[in-house]
Amino acid sequence: MNITYTPLAGCFVIEPQIFGDTRGSFMETYNKQKFPADVHFVQDNQSTSQKGVLRGLHFQKGDHSQAKLVRVIKGEVLDVAVDIRPDSTTFGQHFSIVLNDKNNKQLFVPRGFAHGFIVLKDDTIFAYKCDNFYNKESESGIIYNDPDIAIDWMLSEDEILLSDKDKILPNLKTLTL
């Protein structure tokens, strides 16, 4: 595994070593020794989506905050992490990366970040590990098109499909953290 750190402290990209032959391929997708000692994944999640679906920007507040290790099993997404740690020098800044079934890259999103992704190919399967269980009362988010964050989602507004819940999320400036 090759680990590349992003400009956002604690957020990093993992590029696995892939071993292939005539039978197919093998890669290690997770190794506890490569992660911070305080990260203990407790839950795996998976979604399937069509091109244009945007999920995010989501996070869990307080004691229910979550670190995530995200990857694409099939298809392609633009994955985005936004630093929402109030004392961070990179507060409000984001990092984005294309994850797909060809590059097999993963993104580690630490606690204190909002996370989202937009699907770039139909029938994309997105999977992620969480280090804390979901808690409905602690869920929160930031509107995907917050002008202060200025994320380029790679698709036009008329191609983006949002849930009703994600359409009414607040801007980072008005959010209570």
Q: Hey, which residues are catalytic here?
A: 58, 128
**Cβ(30)–Cβ(69) below 8 Å:** yes
Decide: residue 48, CB within 10 A, 0-12 exposed, 13-18 middle, 19+ buried: middle
176: number of Cβ within 10 Å: 6
- In 7-93, which ranges are E strands? 12-15, 18-21, 24-27, 43-49, 54-60, 68-74, 76-83
Three-state SS at 158: helix
Structure-token pair, residue 84 = 């929402």
